[in-house]
């Protein structure tokens, strides 16, 4: 029998990422999930990490309207420039502030910044941080936390992304699953 991915198992795996040094895997996972759930036109990060990077973990690239019309999800990301930052740091609040500041200082005219974290973020704190950063930098911020990740993976059937990117022991893609109308 193939082990099933449950919300409890996924939450535990997300909670313990840093103890397994899976920060890069988390960034890859978060980008793949964002491509499926938010917008498919994301650039993968290349080059060095840290000080020499472009200050974003990924960003949208322009897509022709005729292509964007074929997407099943919204197409706002096809025309706008969105920045994404991903983090597995336990202390997410200073990290989002630091990442947003770096992104805003690039002067690339981003219309939206997403911050995806493996941590739980209380709604009140999320709203407070989003509002404060928008006032300070003039760019809307969306913080997506572990609750959002688990919901998207379990409820929207994105388990294959977890299997491909996070290497949870014993999990494999169900070989009997076939793509089609049913």
- For 105-116, what is the HEC assignment? CCCCCCCEEEEE
How far lies 155's CA from each of 119, 120, 182, in Å?
Answer: 19, 18, 17
The pLDDT assigned to 64 comes to 56
Residue 115 or residue 39, greater confidence: 115
Average pLDDT of the segment spanning 147-172:
86
The pLDDT assigned to 1 comes to 46
What is the C-alpha to C-alpha distance for residues 155 and 149, in angstroms, rounded to an integer?
10
Cβ distance 92 to 117 under 8 Å?
yes
How far lies 82's CA from each of 20, 38, 114, 140, 176, in Å?
Answer: 30, 10, 8, 10, 37
Q: How confident is the model at residue 51 (pLDDT cuts 50, 70, 90)?
A: very low
Q: Mean pLDDT of all residues in the chain?
A: 83
Cβ distance 98 to 57 under 8 Å?
no
Q: Give all strands (DSSP E) within the chain, no chain letters.
A: 58-59, 82-87, 112-117, 141-144
């Amino acid at each position: 029998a193939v082990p099933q991915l449950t919300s409890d198992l996924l939450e535990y795996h997300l909670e313990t990422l840093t103890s397994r040094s899976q920060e890069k895997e988390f960034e890859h996972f978060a980008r793949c999930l964002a491509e499926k759930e938010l917008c498919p036109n994301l650039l993968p990060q290349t080059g060095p990490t840290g000080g020499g990077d472009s200050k974003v973990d990924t960003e949208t690239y322009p897509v022709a309207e005729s292509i964007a019309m074929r997407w099943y999800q919204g197409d706002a990301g096809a025309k706008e420039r969105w920045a994404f930052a991903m983090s597995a740091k336990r202390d997410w609040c200073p990290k989002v502030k630091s990442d947003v500041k770096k992104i805003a200082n690039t002067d690339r005219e981003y219309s939206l910044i997403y911050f995806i974290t493996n941590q739980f973020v209380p709604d009140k704190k999320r709203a407070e941080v989003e509002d404060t950063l928008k006032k300070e930098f003039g760019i809307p911020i969306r913080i997506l936390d572990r609750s959002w990740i688990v919901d998207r993976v379990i409820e929207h059937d994105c388990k294959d992304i977890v299997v491909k990117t996070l290497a949870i022991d014993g999990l494999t893609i169900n070989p009997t699953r076939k793509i089609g109308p049913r």
